[in-house]
C-alpha cells in the first residue's frame, strides 16, 4: 500500500543535518490556512441560517395543524417533504461538505476545539473518556422541555437522527391513513430507516430548537475563525493530534453501514466523505508549512508533502473500492483498511515532530485533553 520504507531515513538524517533555528516569520505562509478556514465556515454559517428559515416554515405548518402531524401530512405532504429535503441539503453544506472539511483545524487547535466537542465530536456522558469528552450540549424546546442534556453533540446526536429518522424519539409516526395520503401525494417523500413504519415526520420542536442553536454556534465559530491568528506550533500540533484519527472513521463507517438504526448517526453521507474532508484540511495546513521547511531540510519537506497527498489518494481508492463492491464492502475488508490507515498515519508522527524541531516551533498540549472551556467571544 505504501512505499515509505525510506521515510525514516529522511527524517532521521534531519537530526544531524539541521538544528532548531529561530523560527522564520510564518504569518504570511499560514494565512492560507486561516483563509481556507474562514471561507468554509462562512459557507457553513450561511447554510445554518437557511436551516433556521426552513425549520421555521416547517414548524408553522405543524402549528397551523394544531400539532396534528397526521393532518399536516395529509394536507401539506409535498411542502413538508420539500422542506425536509432542503434541511437535509443544509446539513450537507454545514456538516458533510462543511464542518468535516475544517475539522482537522478546528478540533486540532485549543482556541476552537470547544466547537468540535459541541457540534460534532462530543459523546454522551456515559461514553465519555479523556480523549472523547462529554458533550456540553443542553438543548431545550421552545416550551422549555428538555430535548438533550449532555447526550451527545448537536450534529450527530440531534439533527441527523431527526432529519433521517433513525431514532424514534425524534420523529412522529404517522397513522396508516396519513401515510397512504402522503405516499399518494409525494411518493419519494421520506424513506426513514425506522422499524415503526414506512413514513414518519421529524419533530418540529426539535428542528426549531436545533436550527437556532446551530446557527448561533456557527456565528460564533465564524467570528473565532476570523479573529484567529494561526501560529506555527499549533498548526503543526493539529497535524500531530488529528492525523491519527483517520482509522477511527473506519469504525464509524462500519457501524453506520451495518447497523445504522442502532448508531443513529453517520447516515446522511458515507463516512468516507468525512475522511476525505478532515484529511484535506490537514493537507491544507501541511502544504502551507512545508515551504518553510524546504530550505532547511528539503528531503523531509518533500516527504511530508507526498505523505499527505498519498493519504488523500488512499481515501480515493477506498471510495472507488467501495463503489465497485456496490457499497457492500464487508466488515473484515473495512477493518483491514482501518489498519492500513493507522499504519499510514502513525508513522508520520516522528516526521511531524522533527519538522517542529527544525522550525523551532513548540507543539502545544493535545487540545482535547483536560477540561474544554467555551471560547471567550469578544463582544462587538
Same domain assignment for residues 321 and 365:
yes
Q: Among 208, 229, 250, where does a domain finish? A: 229
State whether 286 and 207 are in the same domain: no
Is-contact 358 11, C-beta < 8 A?
no
Start-end of H helices in 157-297:
160-163, 176-185, 204-227, 232-242, 246-258, 260-263, 271-294
Angstrom CA distances, 335 to 24, 86, 222, 242, stand at 42, 34, 36, 20
Residue 377 within a domain: no
What pLDDT was estimated at residue 263? 60
Nearest one of 371, 98, 133, 111 to 215, comparing CA atoms: 98
pLDDT at 91: 97
Write down the pLDDT at residue 12. Answer: 37
Nearest CA to 228 among 26, 94, 33, 360?
Answer: 33
Residue 379 resides in a domain? no
Grid cell, residue 309, equals 497527498
The count of domains in the chain is 2
> Is 328 in the same domain as 207?
no
Residue 374 domain-assigned (yes or no):
no
CA atoms within 13 A on the CB side of 244: 12
* 298 and 182 inside one domain: no
Q: Are residues 85 and 181 in the same domain?
A: yes
Helix orientation angle between 349-358 and 298-324, rounded to the nearest 10 degrees: 150
119 in a domain, yes or no?
yes
Are 304 and 347 in contact, with CB atoms under 8 Å apart? no
Instruction: Give the pLDDT score at 25.
Output: 54
What does the pLDDT read at residue 166?
85
225 and 235 part of one domain: no
In terms of domains, do 171 and 243 share one? no
* pTM of the shown model: 0.86
Q: Is 181 in the same domain as 264? A: no
Distance, in Å, from the CA atom of 334 to the CA atom of 126, rounded to the nearest integer, reads: 27
> Could you give phi then psi for residue 171, rounded to 5 degrees?
-130, 165
Q: Which of 229, 263, 278 is the last residue of a domain?
A: 229
Strand partners, 200: 173
Residues 243 and 175 in one domain: no
Last residue of a domain, one of 229, 247, 267: 229
In a domain, 114, yes or no: yes
Domain of residue 154, residue span? 37-229
Assess if residue 351 is contained within a domain.
yes
The C-alpha atoms of residue 295 and residue 8 are separated, in whole angstroms, by: 19
Tell which phi-psi region holds residue 266, choosing left (phi > 0), alpha (psi between -120 and 50) or beta.
left
- Residues found in the chain: 380
3 and 91 in a common domain? no
Residue 26 lies in a domain: no
Q: Which helix (H) or strand (E) holds 333?
A: helix 331-346
- Identify whether residues 158 and 253 lie together within a single domain: no
Is 118 found in the same domain as 265? no
Q: Give per-10-residue mean pLDDT for the chain (380 aa).
A: 35 36 62 96 98 98 97 90 92 95 95 94 86 89 93 94 89 88 60 50 96 98 96 96 90 78 67 90 97 96 96 94 89 92 93 97 81 56
Is 30 a domain residue? no
Amino acid at each position: 500500500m505504501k512505499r515509505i520504507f525510506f521515510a525514516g531515513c529522511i527524517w532521521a538524517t534531519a537530526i544531524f543535518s539541521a538544528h532548531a533555528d529561530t523560527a522564520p516569520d510564518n504569518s504570511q505562509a499560514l494565512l492560507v490556512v486561516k483563509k481556507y478556514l474562514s471561507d468554509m465556515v462562512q459557507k457553513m454559517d450561511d447554510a445554518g441560517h437557511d436551516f433556521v428559515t426552513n425549520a421555521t416554515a416547517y414548524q408553522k405548518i405543524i402549528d397551523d395543524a394544531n400539532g396534528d402531524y397526521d393532518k399536516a401530512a395529509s394536507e401539506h405532504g409535498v411542502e413538508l417533504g420539500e422542506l425536509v429535503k432542503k434541511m437535509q441539503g443544509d446539513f450537507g453544506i454545514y456538516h458533510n461538505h462543511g464542518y468535516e472539511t475544517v475539522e482537522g483545524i478546528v478540533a486540532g487547535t485549543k482556541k476552537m476545539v470547544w466547537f468540535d466537542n459541541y457540534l460534532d465530536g462530543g459523546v454522551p456522558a456515559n461514553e465519555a473518556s479523556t480523549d472523547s469528552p462529554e458533550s456540553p450540549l443542553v438543548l431545550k424546546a421552545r416550551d422549555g422541555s428538555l430535548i438533550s442534556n449532555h447526550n451527545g453533540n448537536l450534529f450527530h446526536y440531534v439533527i441527523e437522527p431527526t432529519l433521517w429518522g433513525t431514532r424514534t424519539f425524534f420523529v412522529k409516526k404517522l397513522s396508516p391513513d396519513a401515510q397512504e395520503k402522503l405516499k399518494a401525494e409525494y411518493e419519494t417523500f421520506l424513506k426513514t430507516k425506522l422499524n415503526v413504519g414506512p413514513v414518519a415526520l421529524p419533530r418540529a420542536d426539535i428542528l426549531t430548537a436545533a436550527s437556532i442553536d446551530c446557527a448561533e454556534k456557527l456565528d460564533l465559530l465564524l467570528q473565532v475563525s476570523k479573529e484567529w491568528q494561526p501560529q506555527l506550533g499549533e498548526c503543526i500540533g493539529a497535524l500531530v493530534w488529528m492525523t491519527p484519527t483517520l482509522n477511527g472513521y473506519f469504525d464509524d463507517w462500519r457501524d453506520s453501514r451495518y447497523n445504522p438504526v442502532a448508531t443513529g448517526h453517520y447516515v446522511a453521507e458515507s463516512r468516507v466523505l468525512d475522511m476525505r474532508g478532515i484529511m484535506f484540511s490537514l493537507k491544507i495546513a501541511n502544504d502551507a508549512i512545508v515551504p518553510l521547511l524546504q530550505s532547511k531540510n528539503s528531503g523531509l519537506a518533500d516527504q511530508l508533502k507526498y505523505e499527505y497527498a498519498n493519504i488523500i489518494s488512499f481515501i480515493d481508492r477506498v471510495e472507488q473500492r467501495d463503489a465497485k463492491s456496490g457499497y457492500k464492502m464487508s466488515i473484515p475488508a473495512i477493518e483491514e483498511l482501518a489498519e492500513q490507515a493507522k499504519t499510514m498515519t502513525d508513522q508520520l508522527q516522528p516526521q511531524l515532530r522533527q519538522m517542529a524541531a527544525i522550525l523551532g516551533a513548540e507543539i502545544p498540549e493535545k487540545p482535547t485533553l483536560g477540561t474544554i472551556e467555551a471560547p471567550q467571544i469578544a463582544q462587538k
